[in-house]
Amino acid sequence: MIHVVQTDKSVEQAAADLAVAVEKHGFGVLHTYDLQATMKEKDVDFPHACRILEVCNPHRAADVLTADMQICLALPCRICVFEEDGKTKIGTLRPGQMMEIFPGAKDIMSVAASVEKDLCAMIEDAR
């Protein structure tokens, strides 16, 4: 259910490259969270760099939400760029497997598979 790869890039560079890859694949970045900075604002000393990109393709989102509004619980898709054990990693949850928990998702599994393929391609492009 989890897809994670390692890169030699810094978290900052991988996140910037990921934003370019997201656009290249017809998605948009809705928001980017800097988890470490947010934690610092809350007076929490969090030692790991982490960027969380919320991404969406509105046409595909409309398709899946029309089939089952409960899928809004899983949207937008998130791709994370983070530091772990001194290494930079890029990862996401696989939409195809995640959709299995929604009763109405059987009719949109092809959309979920297509989104999953695109998310993995974005990660590879940013790698």
Cβ-based neighbour number of residue 74 at 10 Å: 17
User: Mind listing the pLDDT tens digit for each residue in 93-102?
Assistant: 999 888 888 8
> Which residue, 125, 46, 66, 123, is CA-closest to 89?
123
User: Exposure of 87 by Cβ count < 10 A (0-12 exposed, 13-18 middle, 19+ buried)?
Assistant: exposed
Percent share of the chain, pLDDT over 90: 84
User: Mind listing the pLDDT tens digit for each residue in 95-125?
Assistant: 988 888 888 777 888 999 999 999 999 999 9
3-state secondary structure of 94: coil
3-state secondary structure of 34: strand
Report domain extents, the chain.
2-126
Pick the CATH number of 2-126 from 3.30.499.10, 3.30.450.40, 3.40.50.720, 3.30.310.70: 3.30.310.70
Give Cα 36 distance to the centre of its chain: 17
